Amino acid sequence: MTWRATLLTILPEMFPGPLGASLAGKALAEGKWALDLIDIRDFATDKHRSVDDTPAGGGAGMVMRADIAAAAIDMARHRAAPETPLLYLSPRGQPLTQDRVRELAKGPGAILLCGRFEGIDERVLEACNIEEVSIGDYVLSGGELAAMVLIDACVRLLPGVAGNETSLAEESFAEGLLEYPHYTRPREWEGRAIPEVLLSGDHKAIAKWRREQAEELTKSRRLDLWEKSKRR
Ligand code: SAM
């Protein structure tokens, strides 16, 4: 079965965007994954195709209506494969991790609800039991870019997409650590040499050096990951 991203958005013209280029774009053209776009405005009931209204209780901005978002979600569930998880990209969500990306990539795909304005009426999030996922502690103007980030992270893990399965096994987060540093030619650049061990041909020593570097980097840059990796 083809991994399918079903997007709920008021800006379908943003897709595939960067997902149409490079690895993801090639895989999309080859049918290794599929993109299904649902325009939330198609479920509006007025002639202006409006999907938002003023916030109950007052305040700035607009809120996406529950009835309209729910109708769009029903359509997405109807079109996506059974058991496809439904996610709402939201700064309030659980941070997206490589572990969650791996799980999503193994499944049938994802239904991704992209918010706009101040967000979406809370009742639809409760009623549809939506998983809220954040791509970081900052606020974007809409969920579309966040959805692209999630899709890109999943697609590169699909069989036959990345081409080099070994590199996936060794990259950052694969074992709960950040990745070791990389070098390539020239051997010396502006007085900086490639670490001698990497030129030694001694695969055991290279693996040991890389492991140590990965541990050092993780310890110094991401103590949270380091502590977690020790519990794995
Ligand atoms: N009022 C919201 C808040 O303070 O939490 C922010 C709304 S934001 C302007 C509009 C939409 O962008 C959100 O509904 C969400 O879909 C998306 N978004 C913004 N930041 C995000 C993030 N860090 N991760 C995922 N989605 C995000």
DSSP-assigned states of every residue in 30-96: TTSEEEEEEEGGGG--STT---EEPPTT--SS-EE-HHHHHHHHHHHHHHSPTT--EEEEEEEEEEP
Question: Domain for residue 146, yes or no?
Answer: yes
**Does 157 sit in the ligand 1 pocket, CB within 6 Å?**
no
Low-confidence stretches of the chain (pLDDT beneath 50): none
d(CA 138, CA 121): 21
Residues 6+ apart with CB under 8 A from 30: none
Range of the domain at 61: 3-155
Domain identity same for 79 and 26: yes
Domain identity same for 55 and 129: yes
Each residue of 187-227: pLDDT tens digit?
Answer: 999 999 999 999 999 999 999 999 999 999 999 999 999 99
Between the CA of 62 and the centroid of ligand 1 the distance, in Å, is 13
Question: Domain for residue 28, yes or no?
Answer: yes
Model confidence pTM above 0.75:
yes
Helix residue spans in the chain (DSSP H)? 22-29, 66-79, 98-106, 122-127, 143-155, 165-170, 203-221, 223-230
d(CA 50, CA 126): 22
Between the CA of 122 and the centroid of ligand 1 the distance, in Å, is 13
82 burial class (0-12, 13-18, 19+ CB within 10 angstroms)?
exposed
Question: Domain for residue 161, yes or no?
Answer: no
Q: Which of 132, 155, 178 is the last residue of a domain?
A: 155
**Does 53 sit in the ligand 1 pocket, CB within 6 Å?**
no
Asked if 218 contacts 232 with a C-beta cutoff of 8 angstroms, the reply is no
d(CA 201, CA 112): 46
What is the structure's pLDDT at 166? 66
Domain identity same for 91 and 113: yes
Structure tokens at 76: 């997405």
**Does 116 sit in the ligand 1 pocket, CB within 6 Å?**
yes
**Does 95 sit in the ligand 1 pocket, CB within 6 Å?**
no
Beta partners for residue 64, in sequence order: 52, 120
Please count the structural domains in the chain.
2
Between the CA of 226 and the centroid of ligand 1 the distance, in Å, is 29
**Does 60 sit in the ligand 1 pocket, CB within 6 Å?**
no
**Does 134 sit in the ligand 1 pocket, CB within 6 Å?**
yes
Nearest CA to ligand 1 atom 23: 91
Between the CA of 201 and the centroid of ligand 1 the distance, in Å, is 49
